């Protein structure tokens, strides 16, 4: 189903079937050029497929933006081990909800993308790893997989091409960390979801220690279009060094929140005003997080002239990320925003490495206390300093993800922190878009939140 | 070896083998890179982030524990950025740490304290509430205090990888992550305490040691565990005459830091309330306490009178007493008591192995004076991750001409036929050549293939099992297990075959022949299911493989090997020289209605059965018969009582209850001396505590000799003097004193040609003690009896 009205400003490539009757069905898919790209790819040499993806300038849509074609080319073709395709559907980044609509509305597009990747790297099995909280999507995916098997689009000798491929759906248990690719693989293998030491990278030793292509749902969904229409056509949709369109999620203080497919390079202010219908109640933009909560926030001034693409965001020392745009109006308390973000990361830190485990929790405690009026002037610097001590020193990017928005908010909105000092009430608490008041203590050791040592089902063997 | 990689660390040019990790290369060069989670031999974690270093051309700080050296790499460990990373990492760690150092067991030897002292900040910026969880008890010996835990996962890894048990895991997430048993609220494991030992902080604490002392108040003494035959060094921490702790953090000894529950906690029998403190003499049918003088006089008089009357003597020695005591005992028996009726409980046919090898090889061979003394598997494994030290380690095997070999020849002339002598001409041997036929503990870690016959190593020989497992993990050694029951080795064995009947072993071996032939080398471990001719057949099989094969004859107790080496056998003098005259074996002595039976540290009137569960099960029966009423042992059905029974023991055992005189003896931790382990490696014992009341067996024997007026003939009875005599007189025991004194282990090599008296049928039977049983001794260990697993699995 769709959750928002489409915008005329969209460029519908990945979302072209959204809104069609029974869009998730194989019949609808086949009636709308479905699986044609696979058949075309089956007649192409694998190197040619990878070349086409490289030409398309497709960059990973999960957040890091690594060129997809290059990633695929790292898979050692002559490895004696089986190779795997793994779809990262662990969409947990706050502000991001695009993979969900892609899976809900057009699962066959994803399956086709996986098949083409399989052709490209000579893999014959794949896994779709779906976020624990999206468990209901499993039904949709499994229905699509069943249909595909029945229609001869999965299994042995697919459509007489001689290509075999098996695809499985797998669900996580609800951990943000499992969106990190190596933690996802651990989780897929049935272990505790903690990241692996890299190198080796998944392309060499991924699922079950075999070469693995691991991409985001949206990345795979873009592949059929690239093969069908050619890499150059896809590249032309975007801007140089960033081809195609981006599923962009507009959230926060915007009149028409939703998922919109926009060309890369789409101007930020136009996106807010025209696609999103502007900010409610005529308020002004205060801050914007462009790609999910792990990206540094931009001030309204910085948004002027910015475009939704990797380079423009990098120039503003932030990231396009996953395309989860969080729009904050002038009545938003930035201290509270930082607190809300940190509550998320402290809750989701897997606990593996010290700086992330302890840093996020410490920051959460300070920010909660600060927002409640218990902050001191030293705390302002301390918040920034703790975040900087985490940045670049954690095992995986989760620590960076927690540190970056915090650093940016403290630096860019320092005055708001000052306004909370000396026991003053939060200047924005009167605002009419109040959030739930957070508990002053989140579940901790004193109040075990779920698993306890008495609960043997919660025990896990680390690293098998 | 591939060419070394050249790199620079802190401006110093360094060479390291390819694949070496930067943290190890730095350590070898004397540059400390701090770490918590990195631990040599365990898998890499990169979790603690303490080892972050600057590497040129890398944008971020890198973890030195996961970064292999690269040609031309420029590493800096001493920059402001690195210092700041360490300082703030420690600040993070201390946010939730309770800082209860004044009462923490680890205080004084805590890695977190040391690191904070060296790299940490002087003050804390943390002002918020710390998370607290109450302490938990996971087993009688393992307590866990979560707030102290820094989550380095060493415990999880040592349990999983080192022990192959995997009893510990992690629950919860983020700052509330906790180490927890995988079985819910309690551990089901070997109870070895390795997790406690390896914990860098005081999170895991020992039920035995906790809150007993501050570490710096203890005196540390290197002892050898007196339970199984593996010969682990256990460093006993003592204070005020009490043993408080056993561990081996300094990694001296053949075991590195490995210890099982017996070595780490099983010392506690020494102050068991039932320990005998005064001699007992039977008066009117009851055992009554008397003075040492009276007891010794009674025994000496009986010995002298029996001698004068031409009466019969029998002497039964121990598997636990030192080489010196065993040597002196057999000398006492043969010279003073003029008897060859001397034996001990044999738990494996060592003589059969030595005979089989002696028939085929001159095994005089390298008296492996281990110049690498004190280096253990962990250090040696540094070969993987550490630059080689020129001339080190293996070089110690090169045997130079041994000045004592001439003496060997002279000694061998006694009692050997000319044919034997021919076969016995000492030869220089090539290191690692075909003559090196007796495996050492370190061979189990280093050789490419291991064949286990019969025994469940993980339960009966935990150190050997540990070594093999480490060999598998670090060197991908191939393991073959032919055992009657499922064993832990099955998990990683290249082949495991269930052989219910030992008679089928050779068929199973034939089945493996092609696989074994393809191995470059092999170590064979066999238990008491192979004896006499079977061992000869096994050695024939090994020889037919055409690869170098080394052997270990598995034995039960701490000095089982030393007992037979020292001639506690009617057929052998020390060093397997033939005694030349018939004598009674142990079982024959029990049946023979002797005039005097002298039992030193043994319990022959215990029902001798392989079923250890039964042995340990009747522990309570012993207490109930403490009165010492002389009565036949029901159900035991062994032997008849001698006319006069003298027993030296620590406890009123079944045998002691039958005795006419009981002399309380010191335990292994209360005496000096040497013991020889299952692989023939001799190590020194040092007295950790004084025994109040009991005397060492050597002293008791010496005093008896003095009372009888034969002390001068038998020579001095101090451990050092007797050891000198052993060195001079016993084949294979000319061991370097300095190495032993420094805590090293030296392999003896007691064979040189055939052993004429061997091969007279099976005589050995193993008790097959599991992890939580240890013959009679184990019944008096509170810890061994307290752990849940002991009730289930021993």
* Gyration radius (Cα) of chain B, Å: 27
Report whether B208 contacts B265 (CB < 8 A). yes
CB atoms within 10 A of CB A280: 12
Chain B hits for A463, CB-CB cut-off 8 Å, are: 43, 156-157, 160
Identify which has the larger pLDDT, A377 or B419.
Answer: A377
Give B215-222's long-range contacts (Cβ < 8 A, gap of 24+).
B215/B105, B215/B106, B215/B107, B215/B108, B215/B109, B216/B108, B218/B244, B218/B245, B221/B686, B221/B687, B221/B688, B222/B252, B222/B253, B222/B684, B222/B686, B222/B743
Structure-token pair, residue B53: 């270093």
Is some CB atom of chain A closer than 8 A to the CB atom of B721? no
Q: What percent of chain A has pLDDT over 70?
A: 92
CB atoms within 10 A of CB B87: 15
Report whether B254 contacts B656 (CB < 8 A). no
pLDDT at site B217: 95
Identify which has the larger pLDDT, B599 or B790.
Answer: B599
Mean pLDDT of B753-779: 80
Residue B383: DSSP 8-state: H
For chain B, how are helix, strand and coil distributed in percent, rounded to 5?
35, 15, 50
Could you read off the pLDDT of B384-430 as tens digits, one per residue? 222 223 333 333 332 333 333 333 333 333 333 333 333 333 333 33
Chain A hits for B178, CB-CB cut-off 8 Å, are: 445, 453
B750 pLDDT tier (thresholds 50, 70, 90): low
- How far is it, in rounded angstroms, from Cα A339 to Cα A337? 5
Identify which has the larger pLDDT, B504 or B410.
Answer: B504
A351–B170 C-beta distance less than 8 A: yes
Check whether the bond before A200 is cis (ω within 30° of 0). Answer: yes
pLDDT at site B760: 57
Three-state SS at A367: helix
Could you read off the pLDDT of A79-91 as tens digits, one per residue? 999 999 999 999 9
Residue B549: DSSP 8-state: E
Could you read off the pLDDT of B337-369 as tens digits, one per residue? 999 999 999 999 999 998 888 877 654 443 333
- How far is it, in rounded angstroms, from Cα B494 to Cα B479? 5
Is some CB atom of chain A closer than 8 A to the CB atom of B66? yes
- How far is it, in rounded angstroms, from Cα B86 to Cα B119? 6
pLDDT at site B355: 87
Q: What is the mean pLDDT of chain A?
A: 91
Mean pLDDT of B168-181: 94
pLDDT at site B563: 96
Chain A hits for B126, CB-CB cut-off 8 Å, are: 362
Q: What is the b/e burial string over B381-399, where b = at least 16 CB atoms within 10 angstroms of the residue's CB?
A: bbbebbbeeeeebeebbeb
pLDDT at site B639: 60
Residue B741 CB burial class (10 angstroms; 0-12, 13-18, ≥19): exposed
Q: What is the b/e burial string over A139-177, where b = at least 16 CB atoms within 10 angstroms of the residue's CB?
A: ebbeebbebbeebebbeeebeeeebebebebbbbeebbb
Residue of A357, A371, A395 to mutate, interface with B, max B Cβ within 10 Å: A357
A398: pLDDT strictly greater than 60: yes
Is some CB atom of chain A closer than 8 A to the CB atom of B172? yes
Q: What are the extents of the domains in chain A?
A: 26-230, 245-329, 334-463
Please report, in angstroms and rounded to a whole number, the separation of the first and last CA atoms in chain A. Answer: 40
pLDDT at site B751: 65
B371: pLDDT strictly greater than 70: no
CA A246-A252-A256 angle, to 5 degrees, is 70
Chain B hits for A173, CB-CB cut-off 8 Å, are: none
Query: Which residue's entry shows tokens 């004896």?
Result: B531
H helices of B652-781, in order, are: 654-657, 697-708, 711-714, 719-729, 737-741, 775-778
Close Cβ partners of B439 (under 8 Å, ≥ 6 residues apart): B447, B523, B525, B550, B551, B552, B679
Mean pLDDT of A291-316: 95
A354–B132 C-beta distance less than 8 A: no
Mean pLDDT of B373-380: 36
Identify which has the larger pLDDT, B630 or B436.
Answer: B436
Among candidates A365, A444, A458 on the partner chain, residue whose Cβ is nearest the Cβ of B171 = A458
Residue B773 CB burial class (10 angstroms; 0-12, 13-18, ≥19): buried
Mean pLDDT of A49-76: 95
A260 pLDDT tier (thresholds 50, 70, 90): very high
- How far is it, in rounded angstroms, from Cα A124 to Cα B239? 66
Three-state SS at B682: strand
Q: Do the domains spanning A245-329 and A334-463 agree at the CATH topology level? A: no
A328: pLDDT strictly greater than 90: yes
pLDDT at site B731: 86
Q: Chain B window 178-207: which residues touch A at a Cβ cutoff of 8 Å? A: 178, 180-185
Among candidates A353, A448, A453 on the partner chain, residue whose Cβ is nearest the Cβ of B185 = A453
- How far is it, in rounded angstroms, from Cα B222 to Cα B358? 34
Chain B hits for A348, CB-CB cut-off 8 Å, are: 173-174
* Gyration radius (Cα) of chain A, Å: 22
Q: Chain A window 417-446: which residues touch B at a Cβ cutoff of 8 Å? A: 441, 443-446
A34: pLDDT strictly greater than 90: yes
pLDDT at site A107: 97
- Helix H, strand E, coil C: the string for B277-313 is CCCEEEECCEEEECCHHHHHHHHHHHHHHHHHCCCCE
- How far is it, in rounded angstroms, from Cα B261 to Cα B127? 42
pLDDT at site B404: 38
pLDDT at site B361: 65
Mean pLDDT of B124-144: 93
Q: What is the b/e burial string over A209-229, where b = at least 16 CB atoms within 10 angstroms of the residue's CB?
A: ebbbbbbbbbbbbbbbbbbbb
Say yes or no: domain A26-230 is CATH 3.20.20.140: no
B763 pLDDT tier (thresholds 50, 70, 90): confident
Could you read off the pLDDT of A444-462 as tens digits, one per residue? 333 334 433 343 333 333 3
Q: Chain B window 5-64: which residues touch A at a Cβ cutoff of 8 Å? A: 43-50, 52, 60-61
Identify which has the larger pLDDT, B639 or B453.
Answer: B453
Among candidates B89, B171, B175 on the partner chain, residue whose Cβ is nearest the Cβ of A453 = B171
Model ipTM value: 0.88
B618: pLDDT strictly greater than 90: no
B131–A445 C-beta distance less than 8 A: yes
Q: What is the b/e burial string over B689-699, where b = at least 16 CB atoms within 10 angstroms of the residue's CB?
A: bebeebbbbbb
Could you read off the pLDDT of B657-705 as tens digits, one per residue? 999 999 999 999 999 999 999 999 999 999 999 988 999 999 999 999 9
Q: CATH fold of A245-329, please?
A: Ubiquitin-like (UB roll) (3.10.20)
Residue B621 CB burial class (10 angstroms; 0-12, 13-18, ≥19): exposed
- CATH classification for the domain delimited by A334-463, as one of 1.20.1440.230, 3.40.50.880, 1.10.240.10, 1.10.3720.10: 1.20.1440.230
B240: pLDDT strictly greater than 90: yes
Could you read off the pLDDT of B434-476 as tens digits, one per residue? 457 889 999 999 999 999 999 999 999 999 999 999 999 999 9
B629: pLDDT strictly greater than 60: no
Q: What is the mean pLDDT of chain B?
A: 85
Task: Provide DSSP, A259-321.
Answer: EEEEETTEEHHHIIIIIS---GGGPPEEEEEBTBTTSPPEEHHHHTT-EESHHHHHHTT---T
Chain B hits for A462, CB-CB cut-off 8 Å, are: 153, 156-157, 160, 169-170
Q: What percent of chain B has pLDDT over 90?
A: 73
B431: pLDDT strictly greater than 90: no
Is some CB atom of chain B closer than 8 A to the CB atom of A201? no
Could you read off the pLDDT of B68-89 as tens digits, one per residue? 999 999 999 999 999 999 999 9
Residue A46 CB burial class (10 angstroms; 0-12, 13-18, ≥19): middle
Close Cβ partners of B306 (under 8 Å, ≥ 6 residues apart): B312, B313, B595, B596, B644
**Of the candidates A65, A77, A14, the residue with the CA atom closest to the CA atom of residue A228:** A14
Query: Which residue's entry shows tokens 């279009």?
Result: A225
Sign of the Cα torsion B201, B205, B206, B208 reads positive
H helices of B476-553, in order, are: 505-517, 533-544
Query: Which residue's entry shows tokens 């005097």?
Result: B596
Q: Chain A window 364-423: which residues touch B at a Cβ cutoff of 8 Å? A: 365-366, 369, 378, 382, 389, 392-395
Could you read off the pLDDT of B98-119 as tens digits, one per residue? 999 999 999 999 999 999 999 9
Task: Provide DSSP, B619-678.
Answer: HHHHHHTTT----PPTTT------SEEEEEESS--HHHHT-SEEEEB--GGG--EEEE-T
B174: pLDDT strictly greater than 80: yes
Please tell me the least confidently modeled range out of A345-359, B404-418, B637-651, B752-766: B404-418
Cα maximum dimension of chain A: 74
B263: pLDDT strictly greater than 80: yes
- How far is it, in rounded angstroms, from Cα B789 to Cα B792? 5
- How far is it, in rounded angstroms, from Cα B486 to Cα B493? 11
Mean pLDDT of A45-64: 95
**Of the candidates B514, B507, B501, B511, the residue with the CA atom closest to the CA atom of residue B537:** B507
Mean pLDDT of A332-346: 96
**Of the candidates B761, B776, B743, B756, the residue with the CA atom closest to the CA atom of residue B608:** B776
With a threshold of 0.90, does the pTM exceed it? no
Identify which has the larger pLDDT, B316 or A431.
Answer: B316
């Amino acid at each position: 189903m769709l959750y928002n009205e489409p915008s005329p400003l969209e460029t519908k490539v990945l979302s072209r079937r959204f809104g069609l009757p029974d869009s998730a069905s194989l019949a609808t898919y086949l009636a709308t050029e479905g699986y044609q790209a696979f058949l075309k790819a089956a007649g192409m040499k694998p190197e040619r497929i990878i070349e086409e993806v490289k030409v398309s300038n497709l960059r990973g849509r999960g957040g890091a933006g690594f060129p997809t074609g290059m990633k695929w080319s790292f898979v050692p073709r002559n490895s004696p081990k089986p190779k795997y395709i793994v779809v990262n559907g662990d969409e947990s980044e706050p502000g991001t909800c695009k993979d969900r609509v892609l899976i809900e509305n057009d699962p066959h597009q994803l399956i086709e993308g996986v098949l083409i990747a399989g052709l490209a790297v000579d893999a014959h099995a794949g896994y779709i790893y779906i976020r624990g909280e999206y468990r209901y999507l499993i039904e949709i995916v499994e229905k699509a997989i069943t249909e595909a098997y029945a229609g001869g689009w999965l299994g042995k000798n697919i459509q007489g091409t001689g290509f075999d491929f098996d695809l499985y759906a797998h669900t996580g248990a609800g951990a943000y960390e499992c969106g990190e690719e190596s933690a996802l693989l651990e989780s897929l293998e049935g272990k505790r979801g903690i990241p692996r030491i890299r190198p080796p990278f998944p392309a060499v030793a991924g699922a079950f220690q075999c070469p693995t292509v691991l991409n985001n749902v949206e990345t795979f969904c873009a592949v059929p279009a690239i093969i069908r229409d050619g890499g150059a056509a896809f590249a032309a949709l975007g801007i140089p060094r960033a081809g195609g369109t981006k599923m962009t999620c507009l959230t926060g203080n915007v009149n028409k929140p939703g998922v919109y497919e926009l060309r890369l390079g789409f101007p930020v202010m136009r996106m807010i005003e025209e696609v999103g219908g502007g900010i409610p109640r005529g308020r002004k933009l205060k801050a914007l997080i462009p790609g999910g909560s792990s990206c540094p926030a931009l001030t309204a001034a910085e948004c002027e002239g910015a475009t939704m693409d990797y380079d423009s965001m990098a120039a503003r020392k932030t990231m396009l990320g996953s395309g989860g745009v969080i729009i904050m109006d002038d009545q938003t308390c930035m201290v509270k925003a930082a607190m809300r973000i940190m509550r998320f990361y402290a809750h989701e830190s897997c606990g593996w490495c010290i700086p992330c485990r302890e840093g996020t929790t410490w920051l959460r405690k300070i920010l909660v206390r600060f927002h409640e009026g218990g902050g001191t002037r030293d705390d302002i610097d301390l918040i920034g300093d703790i975040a900087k001590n985490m940045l670049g020193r954690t095992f995986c990017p989760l620590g960076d993800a927690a540190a970056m928005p915090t650093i940016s908010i403290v630096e860019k909105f320092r005055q708001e922190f000052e306004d909370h000092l000396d026991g003053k009430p939060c200047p924005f608490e009167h605002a009419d878009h109040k959030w739930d008041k957070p508990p002053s203590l989140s579940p901790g050791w004193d109040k075990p939140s779920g698993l306890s040592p008495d609960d043997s089902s919660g025990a896990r063997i680390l690293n098998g | 070896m591939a060419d070394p990689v050249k790199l620079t660390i802190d401006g110093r040019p360094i060479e390291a083998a390819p694949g070496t990790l930067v943290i190890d290369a730095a350590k070898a060069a004397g540059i400390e890179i701090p770490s918590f989670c990195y631990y040599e031999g365990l898998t890499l974690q990169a979790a603690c982030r303490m080892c972050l270093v600057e590497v040129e051309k890398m944008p971020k700080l890198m973890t030195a524990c996961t970064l292999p050296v690269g040609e031309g790499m420029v590493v800096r460990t001493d920059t402001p950025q690195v210092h700041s990373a360490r300082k703030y990492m420690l600040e993070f760690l201390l946010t939730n740490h309770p800082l209860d150092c004044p009462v923490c067991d680890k205080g004084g030897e805590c890695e977190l304290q040391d690191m904070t002292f060296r790299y940490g900040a002087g003050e804390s910026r943390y002002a918020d509430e710390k998370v607290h969880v109450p302490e938990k008890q996971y087993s009688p010996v393992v307590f866990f205090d979560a707030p102290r835990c820094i989550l380095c996962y060493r415990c999880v890894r040592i349990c999983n990888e080192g022990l192959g048990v995997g009893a510990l895991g992690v629950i919860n997430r983020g700052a509330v992550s906790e180490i927890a048993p995988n079985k819910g609220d309690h551990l089901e494991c070997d109870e070895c305490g390795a997790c406690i030992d390896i914990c860098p902080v005081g999170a895991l604490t020992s039920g035995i040691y906790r809150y007993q002392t501050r570490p710096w108040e203890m005196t540390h003494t290197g002892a050898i565990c007196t339970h199984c035959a593996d010969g682990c060094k256990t460093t006993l921490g003592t204070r005020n005459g009490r043993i408080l702790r056993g561990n081996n953090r300094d990694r001296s000894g053949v075991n590195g830091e490995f210890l099982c529950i017996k070595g780490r906690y099983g010392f506690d029998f020494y102050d068991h309330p039932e320990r005998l403190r005064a001699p007992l003499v039977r008066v009117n049918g009851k055992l009554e306490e008397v003075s040492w003088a009276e007891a010794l006089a009674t025994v000496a008089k009986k010995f002298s009178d029996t001698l004068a009357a031409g009466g019969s003597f029998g002497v039964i020695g121990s598997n636990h007493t030192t080489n010196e005591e065993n040597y002196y005992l057999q000398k006492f028996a043969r010279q003073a008591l003029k008897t060859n009726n001397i034996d001990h409980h044999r738990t494996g046919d060592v003589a059969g192995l030595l005979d089989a090898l002696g028939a085929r090889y001159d095994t005089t061979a390298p008296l492996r004076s281990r110049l690498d003394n004190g280096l253990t598997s962990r250090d040696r494994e540094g070969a993987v991750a550490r630059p080689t030290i020129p001339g080190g380690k293996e070089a110690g095997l090169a045997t130079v001409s041994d000045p004592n070999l001439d003496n060997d020849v002279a000694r061998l002339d006694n009692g050997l036929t000319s044919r034997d002598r021919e076969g016995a001409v000492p030869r220089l041997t090539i290191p690692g050549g075909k003559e090196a036929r007796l495996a050492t503990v370190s061979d189990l870690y280093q050789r490419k293939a291991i064949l286990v016959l019969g025994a469940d190593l993980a339960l009966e020989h935990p150190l050997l099992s540990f070594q093999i497992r480490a060999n598998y993990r670090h060197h991908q050694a191939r393991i073959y297990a032919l055992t009657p029951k499922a064993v832990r080795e099955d998990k990683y064995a290249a082949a495991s075959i269930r052989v219910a009947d030992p008679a089928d072993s050779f068929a199973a071996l034939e089945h493996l022949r092609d696989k074994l032939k393809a191995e470059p080398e092999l170590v064979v471990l066999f238990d008491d299911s192979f004896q006499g001719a079977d061992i000869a057949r096994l050695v024939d099989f090994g020889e037919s493989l055409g690869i170098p094969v080394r052997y270990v004859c598995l034995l039960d107790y701490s000095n089982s090997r030393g007992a037979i080496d020292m001639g506690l056998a009617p057929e052998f003098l020390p060093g397997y020289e033939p005694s030349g005259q018939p004598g009674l074996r142990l079982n024959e002595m029990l049946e023979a209605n002797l005039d005097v039976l002298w039992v030193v540290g043994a319990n022959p009137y215990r029902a001798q059965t392989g079923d250890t569960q039964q042995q340990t099960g009747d522990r309570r029966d012993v207490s109930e018969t403490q009165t010492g009423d002389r009565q036949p042992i029901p159900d035991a059905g062994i032997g008849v009582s001698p006319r006069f029974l003298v027993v030296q023991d620590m406890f009123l055992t079944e045998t002691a209850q039958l005795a006419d005189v009981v002399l309380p003896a010191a335990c292994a931790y209360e005496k000096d001396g040497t013991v020889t382990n299952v692989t023939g490696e001799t190590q020194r014992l040092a007295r950790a505590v004084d025994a109040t009341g009991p005397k060492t067996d050597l002293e008791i024997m010496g005093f008896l000799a003095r009372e009888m007026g034969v002390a001068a003939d038998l020579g001095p009875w101090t451990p050092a003097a007797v050891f000198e005599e052993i060195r001079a007189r016993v084949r294979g025991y000319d061991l370097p004193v300095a190495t032993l004194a420094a805590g090293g282990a030296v392999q003896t090599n007691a064979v040189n040609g055939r052993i004429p008296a061997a091969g007279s049928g099976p005589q050995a039977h193993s008790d097959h003690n599991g992890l939580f049983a240890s013959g009679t001794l184990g019944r008096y260990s509170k810890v061994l009896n307290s752990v849940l697993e002991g009730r289930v699995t021993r």
